[in-house]
Amino acid sequence: MRVTTDQITIFKNLACRYFGEDAQLWLFGSRTDDSKKGGDYDFFIETSMNNADQIIVSRSYLIAELQNTEPFEDEKIDIIVKRRSSAFDMPIYHIAKHEGMRI
Amino acid sequence: MKQEQSMRVYMAECTLHAAVLDEALNDTRKWIPISVETHLDKELLRILDQIAYRFTKLQDSMGEKILPLIMELAQEPVSSSATFAEKLNRLERMGAIPSADEWKKLRIARNAVAHEYPDDPELRASAINHFLAGAKQLSSLYQFVMQYIAAHFPELTAMKDRAVCRE
């Protein structure tokens, strides 16, 4: 896994502030693969929040705040949000949860 | 003199970004507001890509070139260690931008679509609508800054007009 403990702590604190204390978080994609180099940070968040506009604004602020911290400065961060209340499903949700790492 | 020449170059650059941005925003008319049912066809995707590109270019050029140069031309003393946020507050007090907070929010609006993955259709619709609202706001902000420049440094716009006439 190519992510520092600092980065994980920062992400968890900020993600829970924006998406609720009960939000569940995963890191997935190339950063979980030690054989790779560089790459984006891909996170998956499952939240009890339901309002779409609120989720989009929260996600935008979360990315901006992360990029304001030294460990994530200039890094590209992608965040997928899944609403617990929604029946909508996509393969990427399963990939993120099963191939990713719960943080 | 050199600063004024640079400013004219930057203004021409930003005016082009803003013109393409406005045209692309105008082209979204038949799709907006985006809803869960909106089909993201290739034409709309092409327009959204164009908006994203010009949004970033216009915002970067304004933030890195035009706004700092306005402070220099206005001879606003700023310490070299001033953060960008401090400079924005100063620009707001000078009346060069409507609000420092709005500028920061626009940076965030760009993030709404900074996303490589497919999304839940309701989230996707909301993200695109936020992004388009931000792009419109950035275009208005640019017009505001241009009016400030025309009012405070009339020689810049006047000389630009003469240059255009000669062509």
| ipTM, interface predicted TM-score of the complex | 0.88
Nearest Cα residue in chain A from B119:
A80
Give the pLDDT of residue B115. Answer: 66
**Closest Cα in chain B, distance from residue A67 (Å):** 11
Global confidence as pTM: 0.87
Under 8 Å between Cβ of A47 and A83: yes
Looking at the predicted structure, is the pLDDT value of residue B158 above 80? no
Closest partner CB to A60 (pick from B111, B117, B122): B111
Give the pLDDT of residue B67. Answer: 95
Q: Note whether A92 contacts B123, CB cutoff 8 Å.
A: no
Three-state SS at B21:
helix
Q: Is A88's Cβ below 8 Å from some Cβ in B?
A: yes
Give the pLDDT of residue A99. Answer: 92
Mean pLDDT over B15-23 rounds to: 97
pLDDT band at A1 (very low <50, low <70, confident <90, very high): confident
Which residues lie across from A101 on neighbouring strands? A27
Count of CB atoms situated within 10 Å of the CB of A97: 16
pLDDT (tens digit, 9 = 90+) per residue, A59-88?
Answer: 999 998 999 899 999 889 999 999 999 999
Give the pLDDT of residue B166. Answer: 47
Looking at the predicted structure, is the pLDDT value of residue B163 above 80? no
Closest partner CB to A56 (pick from B107, B121, B126): B126
- Cα B32 to Cα A83, B25, B128: the distances in Å are 24, 10, 10
Nearest Cα residue in chain A from B120:
A88
Contacts of A63 in chain B (CB under 8 A): 108, 111, 114
pLDDT (tens digit, 9 = 90+) per residue, B43-77?
Answer: 999 999 999 999 999 999 999 999 999 999 998 87
Q: Provide Rg for chain B, Cα atoms.
A: 18
**Closest Cα in chain B, distance from residue A62 (Å):** 9
Q: Both ends of chain A: CA-CA distance in Å?
A: 12
Nearest Cα residue in chain B from A44:
B117
Residue, of B139 and A30, whose pLDDT is higher: B139
